[in-house]
Structure 1
Amino acid sequence: MRDRPDLPSDPLSDVLALLQVRSGAALHMTAGGPWALRFPAYPYLKFIAQLRGVLFVQVEGDAHPYRLEAGDCLLMRSGRPYIAATDLTLSAQDGAAHFAALRGGAATWGDPNAADGMEMIAGRFEFDASQRDLLEQVVPPELHIPADAQAAPALRALLDLYGREAGAPDAGARLVTDGLARIALVQALREPGGARHGWLAALADPKIGPALRLLHGAPERRWSVEELARETAMSRSALAQRFRQLVGMAPLQYLQAWRMRLARKALHEEDTPLAAIAWRLGYASESAFSAAFKRSSGSAPGAYRQQKRVVSALNPPQ
């Protein structure tokens, strides 16, 4: 249930709030001449903003590489190993070892002012690891945003500022980079046409997008597929088929899964009684909520809350 019912529902903001996106390391790199670096699997969101020259990114398992030209951005969340190179025919060196001794968040080699010189900003956004399945549902494995895309200019400016702030000793730098990370991710994910299928495509769909906003705007409501179809001017069968095609599950399955995500967040962060959480999420009783939560999470709400408190006590924030 939203705190301000007069405001329109914003599913993307809802999702990013659960992901708790924050900043990580950033690298400003200039180089000249041919090179190829191999990087291992990774547990966070990676980004590349190409400022000058051409860069190829070959993700393991993909038939074709991404070609990044000046102004392009690439967001990567698949976690698959990849090669970044100006020449993919070269034998790739160990990229992690290459940058292991790096200090100051900047790297230069060769002659970056040569005709084949290049410049880029690369780095990562970290997120709540317990929400990886949500990240995988929302963010495509790789999202290439070309220079002529609507979001590209703002995204490049944000990532450039991010690169300057990341690792800086200035007061408040971490707060600034965390904010920039969230804003940059929003800019990337709301690019029109950025995703052709999946949750982002569903949100942009003229029929399924409104259905998602209805579910996020009132998760406590006892929605039926008939009601959603009526509100979105679709037939029941057309809505169900299109929703499943884009989102990967039926509308009421999605509603149930979203309620459980909200429940886990509340149990982790609040001392709210279980009965109040149950009411907030539209359950007729605490026992009905507890049964649904146990089916979803494998443990009763009270046990889940206690477990999270123990984990938090053993791993206090740094």
Structure 2
Amino acid sequence: MDVLSDVIAAMRIGRPRSVRVEHHGPFAGRLPTTVPGAGFHVVLQGTCWLVPRHGAPVPLSTGDVAFLRHGSEVGIADHPSTPMAEAPVPALVATSISRNEPPAVIPGSSTEAAALPTVMLCGAYFLDESRPHPLLQELPEILHLPARLGHRPELRSAIELLNSELKQPREGTDVIVRALLDMLLLYILRTWHDAQAPRHRTTGWAAALRDPATASALQAIHADPSRQWTVEDLAAHVGLSRPALARRFTSLLGQPPLSYLTWWRMTIAARLLRESDAPLVTVANNVGYTSESAFAHAFKRAHGTAPGRYRRQP
């Protein structure tokens, strides 16, 4: 599994969801943070403004994508000057796709008005915020991807397919939407990381994944986290000397290779404890520990609680 896919899989704690919403006439409503994780808004038709609690409003046009790293509370409005409803109006709570109902409609002027409505796709990704991966942590709070003609056709295709399924649900829509939402998230993250290249970022995950040696070392760690890696092993794998790899890895990611290996192992262990009934010794072996007591000590140091107690927590 590649690093980006691995990170998303490790952080996911629930299935993503999405709805198609139509805004008619003047509209403004604040959408509260209701789930742990990230959110997105895609403008299919018309224009609107994303109005955060703090910071300047963000104008969105047809084809634009806005990704909210923490699913932060934001407002959606036809214009920043439109009075914002602090409590979400019922129409802002869109219908479930499984009920084959029409899209939610935001009241304002008559739906028979000449002006076309603003149509949006809105969604949420349920992610574990207790131990966020640094790859996602370095994203801006609001990631705005303006539409450009001929730019990122795969992202545009995922949006069009998702819109089609939500507009006319059919047999299999539930599974198709889930897959399309996963695709959309990865395409959004790819687009942002690719956009960092012209800016010549010299540190961080965008730079690390473009650096052949560091990216190869990360790939090795993620491909086989239970292996008893040493810095010498990783250096030999990527074709560098031990000091050269250690310097490059630490310079880009802010921590040595084995520190990241331990962090990633504890992240995988938490997921295994949460999602399976495997014995602790099996979990320990899966993340590179031959001793259950050594694993328990490392896990408690990372998560602040023993593995058994962590598993029993809601």
| Class of the TM-score when normalised by the shorter of the 2 chains | 0.7 to 0.9
Retained in 1: the 8 A contact 2:19–2:94? Answer: no
Which of 247, 250, 272 is equivalent to 1:266?
272
Retained in 1: the 8 A contact 2:42–2:122? Answer: no
Q: Does 1:48 align with 2:41?
A: yes
What is the rounded CA distance, in whole Å, between the counterparts of 2:158 and 2:61 in structure 1? 15
One-letter amino acid of the counterpart of residue 307, structure 2: P
- Superposition pairs of residues 21-170 of structure 1, within 5 angstroms: 21-32=14-25, 34-43=26-35, 44-62=37-55, 64-94=56-86, 96-97=88-89, 99=91, 104-107=102-105, 109-110=108-109, 117-128=116-127, 130-134=128-132, 137-138=135-136, 140=139, 141-148=141-148, 149-150=151-152, 151-164=154-167
Give the aligned partner of residue 314 of structure 1: none
Structure 2 length as normaliser, TM-score? Answer: 0.76
Structure 1, 209-218 or 284-293: larger mean CA deviation: 284-293
Q: CA deviation at 1:49?
A: 1.2
One-letter amino acid of the counterpart of residue 51, structure 2: Q
Q: CA deviation at 1:230?
A: 4.9
Give the aligned partner of residue 316 of structure 1: none
Q: CA deviation at 1:10?
A: 0.9
Over 3 Å counting, the alpha-carbon distance change for 1:21 and 1:241 in structure 2 is farther
Structure 2 unaligned runs (5+)?
96-101
Retained in 2: the 8 A contact 1:22–1:182? Answer: no
What is the rounded CA distance, in whole Å, between the counterparts of 2:64 and 2:274 in structure 1? 39
Q: Does 1:288 align with 2:294?
A: yes
Q: CA deviation at 1:118?
A: 4.7
Give the aligned partner of residue 98 of structure 2: none
What is the rounded CA distance, in whole Å, between the counterparts of 2:230 and 2:70 in structure 1? 34
Residue 93 of structure 1 aligns to a residue whose secondary structure is coil
Please tell me the root mean square deviation across aligned C-alpha atoms, in Å: 3.4
Q: Does 1:188 align with 2:181?
A: no
Retained in 1: the 8 A contact 2:29–2:89? Answer: no
Residue 259 of structure 2 aligns to a residue whose secondary structure is helix
Over 3 Å counting, the alpha-carbon distance change for 1:171 and 1:163 in structure 2 is closer
Residue 22 of structure 1 aligns to a residue whose secondary structure is coil
One-letter amino acid of the counterpart of residue 107, structure 1: V
Structure 1 unaligned runs (5+)?
1-8, 312-318
Give the aligned partner of residue 10 of structure 1: 2
Structure 1 length as normaliser, TM-score? Answer: 0.75
Q: CA deviation at 1:81?
A: 2.6
Structure 1, 112-121 or 37-46: larger mean CA deviation: 112-121
Q: CA deviation at 1:171?
A: 4.9
Q: Percent identity?
A: 32
What is the rounded CA distance, in whole Å, between the counterparts of 2:134 and 2:48 in structure 1? 25
Q: CA offsets, 1:228-259, max 9 Å, x none?
A: 34544566666556545654543322211110
One-letter amino acid of the counterpart of residue 143, structure 2: L
Residue 194 of structure 2 aligns to a residue whose secondary structure is coil
Structure 1, 267-276 or 229-238: larger mean CA deviation: 229-238
Alignment size in residue pairs: 294
What is the rounded CA distance, in whole Å, between the counterparts of 1:208 and 1:58 in structure 2? 38
One-letter amino acid of the counterpart of residue 127, structure 1: F
Which of 199, 216, 227 is equivalent to 2:222?
216
Q: CA deviation at 1:219?
A: 1.1
Q: CA offsets, 1:112-141, max 9 Å, x none?
A: 89796453323222425x455326752623
